[in-house]
Structure 1
Amino acid sequence: MRLATYNIEWFANLFDRNDRLIVDDSWSGRHDVTKAQQVEAIAKVLTAIDADAVLVVEAPNTGKRQNTVRALQAFAEVFDLRTSQAIMGFPNDTHQELALLYDPEVLSVRHDPRAADDAPRFDSEFRIDLDVDATQDVVQFSKPPMELSVQTKAGFQFRLIGAHLKSKAPHGAGSRDEAIRISIANRRKQLAQAIWLSRRVAHHLAEDDPVILLGDLNDGPGLDEFEHLFGRSSVEIVLQAGLFDPHAVTAHGPHPGSVSSTARFARPENGTFLEALLDYIMISSDLQSRRPVWRIWHPFRDAACWAKPDLREALLTASDHFPVTLDFEL
């Protein structure tokens, strides 16, 4: 079994209002990349990773006329991908949906959100005192995580949670002081979302459900100067619920080793790139006996990707994130 998570930047821009794929020389949302170039690159990457299911982060939009599932299934049909079926959870207002492309010959999947008193459904509100002022803060997801019940053709069942946590970037700041205020507020909200996620995971583990949590957690070491302010990262909070990801453990442990990277962002001001570990596939302990193997499809750090120029260029053209895959025995 191979699962993947892949944040595809500006995927929504590649479809018109009727979810028809736009394949022309107009510019995509990516710098110096046309829509035709990005479409072809995404198809090459999805074909190369050949996963049984792919969590698409920043999937095409669902709105008054557009439909994420319709758009993704049309994309899969055009490029003859075996992940021909799509499913999503709660739509959002950001034009960046969460959806799963999967192979219906391998998996049966249904949206199955759950709730508990201390961990409501992800389309609801979460109340928590974030700053120890005896007043509860009300937290909502701008992109509610997708909670799925998955079953293999052989009958193995597990829970899959796809997530895209709040960015910590101070978008819209007009001054240094405002940037600091927004950064701290964003980090507080991100940590609250992580606590919400961890409680949902804990409830599933208490019921002996195997759990896989994957997606873009927008958190990795060295991303901003406020990461030590709250004592722990959102990634650490989710791991402490009883999950494991080797890249996360290495990066967020007490003695961090060489930090992996799943994303690469241009810094036009100085002509360099910022690399970051943002995308994860975390598994519960009962899945660790199934010989899991993680891989980040980084065009410069993964030897097999580097050795294939077409794939290397496709990875750089398709998105500012790179896919992460998990292989395990079922």
Structure 2
Amino acid sequence: MKIMNWNIEWMNNWFSGNHDPQWGSGSLSAGDAHVVAARVANVIRDVDPDVLCVQEGPSAMPEMQLFIEAHLSDNGVPRYEALIGKAGGAQKLYVLTKVGGAVAAIDHATDAPTQELENVWQADVDGDLLLQPYDFTRLPMVVDLDPQAGAPLRIVVLHTKSKYVHNGQALFGNPARRHEFIAAAMKARRRISAEGFRLRSYLDQLVAADAGARVIVTGDWNDGPGPDFFERQYLTHNIADIVLGSTFYPDLIFRHPVLERVPSTALFTARFDDFVDDIPDRPLLLDHFAVSPGLHGDIRDAGIAHAEYERELEGSGAARTQRASDHRPIWLTL
């Protein structure tokens, strides 16, 4: 079984109409939307996953179905079926499964620990030392898969709160207003940390109840290995470290098969200008797999789809029609 994860940049901008969709929106013309969708479909066809986990999917299932019908079908027969997440607004989570592929059945998980992820909990996301109710910006999508062969497994798709701060570069570059940027950025990072800790407690529950639990966590975590400016100077948390687990509980640690198999020079899924550390076009590993101890032995390979992504990159990729997405896909095989 091949599993692919991809943040497909603002798919919602391809469409208008939601449940009665048509191509094109205020952001992209119908023609441009088809160009971008074709690039995305080409990458998916090249990687050819049995399971595709999507972040920034469209806000309505008919829009995703319109994409599949137009660009991921052969002679009118869809290559994939889609399942939509329960939350996310204009950036929904999806899991697509290949028709006739390695998955026999898929559905949302309904066990009590998974349902409890929808509940609010107490966290200090403002840094004022006062606890307040908090819940996920985007509720993780948790699905149970029955393969055609082999034991069932669970996939948790996580898209954490964005680190984006409106007018952030201008605020940071102005000494008189830099504190405004720091305050907003810190709140975003506290929210990401809160979501990471809540998810990790859920994973601990699963593995404590069944040491052989077969679980994969994937998605765009908006954070990666190595401390950034805020983790170094303002002592925030690294969400990848939180989700993977504590070294004090080695039997509960999840493994990162991409980190284990991809050379450091190729270990990135996005490139963005970092105006805080003053590094233009900085390579960042924002998209991850975390595999439970009971499933790690079944990993056969993992990687980042650089070649497939770059085949669809035109010129600098600055224009939306010149790239499939601003993130590169990751994949693993079981």
What TM-score bracket applies, with the shorter chain setting the length? 0.7 to 0.9
2:85 is aligned with 1:89: yes
How far did residue 136 of structure 1 move?
2.6
5+ residue gaps, structure 1:
62-66, 300-304
Quick one: which of 283, 293, 298 aligns to 1:285? 293
Residues of 2 paired with 1:98 and 1:239: CA distance? 21
Query: Where do residues 110-259 of structure 1 align in structure 2 (5 Å cutoff)?
Result: 110-116=107-113, 121-128=116-123, 135-154=130-149, 156-171=151-166, 175-208=177-210, 209-221=213-225, 224-228=228-232, 229-230=234-235, 232-240=237-245, 242-248=253-259
Structure 2 counterpart of 1:48: 46
Does residue 71 of the first structure (1) align with residue 69 of the second (2)? no
Is the 2:258–2:303 contact (alpha carbons within 8 Å) kept by the matching residues of 1?
A: no
Listed one character per residue, the Cα deviations across residues 41-87 of structure 1 (whole Å, up to 9, x for unaligned) are: 011111111000111100001xxxxx23x222332232317652111
Are the equivalent residues in 2 in contact too, given 1:83–1:101 (CA < 8 A)?
no
Q: Which amino acid aligns with 2:23?
A: I
Deviates more, 1:188-197 or 1:100-109: 100-109
CA drift of 1:223 comes to 7.8
| Residues 129/298 of structure 1: CA separation in 2 closer, same or farther (3 Å cut) | same
Specify whether residues 136 and 310 from structure 1 end up closer, same or farther in structure 2 by C-alpha distance, changes over 3 A only: closer
Larger fraction in helix: 2
Give, in angstroms, the shift of residue 298 of structure 1.
2.0
Q: What SS class does the counterpart of residue 261 from structure 1 fall into?
A: coil
> Is the contact made by 1:139 and 1:193 (CA closer than 8 Å) also made in structure 2?
no
Report the residue type matching 2:86 in the other structure: F
Report the Cα distance in structure 1 between the residues aligned to 2:122 and 2:115, rounded to whole angstroms: 10
Q: Which runs of 5 or more structure 2 residues have no equivalent in the other structure?
A: 172-176, 246-251
TM-align CA RMSD: 3.4
Q: Take 1:223 and 1:44, find their aligned partners in 2: how far apart are those partners? A: 35
Specify the alignment match of 2:34 in structure 1: 36
1:73 alignment partner AA: Q
The answer as to whether partners of 1:58 and 1:97 remain within 8 angstroms in 2 is yes
Residue 217 (structure 1) shift: 0.3
Which amino acid in 1 is paired with 2:67?
Answer: F
| Residues 259 and 277, structure 1, Cα contact 8 Å, conserved in 2 | no
> What SS does the corresponding residue of 1:244 show, helix, strand or coil?
coil
For normalisation by structure 1, the TM-score amounts to 0.80
1:64 match: none
Secondary structure of the corresponding residue to residue 323 of structure 2: helix
Q: Match of 2:49, as an amino acid? A: A
Tell me which amino acid in the other structure corresponds to 1:245: H
Structure-2 separation of matches of 1:35 and 1:189: 33
Question: What do the CA deviations read for 1:85-115 (whole angstroms, capped 9, x no partner)?
Answer: 111221233x001011112433211112444
2:329 pairs with 1:323: yes
- Relative to structure 2, which stretch is displaced further, 47-56 or 122-131? 122-131
Give the alignment's TM-score, normalised by structure 2.
Answer: 0.79
User: How many residues are matched?
Assistant: 303
Q: 1:14 to 1:193 in 2, by over 3 A?
A: same
- Aligned partners of 1:320, 1:76: CA distance in 2, in Å? 20
Rounded to whole Å, the distance in 2 between the matches of 1:182 and 1:133 is: 13
Q: Deviations over 1:171-191 (max 9, x none)?
A: 355531110001111111111
1:59 to 57, 60, 75: 57
8 Å contact 2:225–2:240 — kept in the other structure? no
